[in-house]
Chains A and B, each alone.
Chain A
């Protein structure tokens, strides 16, 4: 199985901050990497697919980059509605695997 490791596990940030979350794969996964946002008690929501493709309707402050084993999700200017947990997900090979999540909290 391909292990996915996110860092940090949690972070505190203020509205307007630039936030970067990192995801590292245990082996090269090309660009088969997706990012999801999950708010407490809510359903996960796809933000980014194929490492850098922003899903339609997702605010432009969200961006993704990377290839191979190292990936980043960047929120350029954190908004109140962005406080949530973010998960990376590899779709290079089954079993699909997720990172452990990064919780973004209000500072």
Chain B
């Protein structure tokens, strides 16, 4: 059974940092691109970024709203995905989801999601 479990969320002051972790199990983690998606309270879904597999040199891509502040990494030996969030702003307050990329021939889709973890940026 595929499972994704996020941890590391919480309350942080503006300008602060936080590191989220997503522990994966039930599939061959190293073969899949992995994604981060967030959802501000009462709002829709917003893509944060993704990291490709070793075969694509672990290339990471980011939304413009977080580029230069957030860093996505992965440790395939630990089946873990990370989101390092720096210079946090109040508008980064959201539930953060990690998601697996289906990697179908017909393109990307997020077929499994973690339960989500709340990050609150407030003074």
Contact = CB atoms under 8 A, between A and B. Distances in A.
Interface in B75-123: 97, 102, 104, 106-111, 113-116
A43 B107 contact: no
Contact of B108 (A87, A91, A99): A91
A44 B45 contact: yes
- Residues of B contacting A: mostly: strand
Contacts of A53: 104, 106
Contacts of A97: 47
A49 B115 contact: no
B23 to A, nearest CB: 16
Interface residues of B, number: 24
A94 B44 contact: no
Contacts of B37: 44
B106 A43 contact: no
Contacts of B61: 94-95
Contacts, number: 70
Interface in A33-51: 34, 36, 38, 43-46, 49-50
Interface string A52-65: 01010000000000
Contacts of A1: 64
A34 B113 CA distance: 15
A32 B113 CA distance: 19
Interface string B31-44: 00001010000001
B44 to A, nearest CB: 5
Contact of B116 (A34, A43, A46, A87): A43
Nearest to B116: A43
B44 A91 contact: no
Interface of B: 35, 37, 44-47, 50, 61-64, 97, 102, 104, 106-111, 113-116
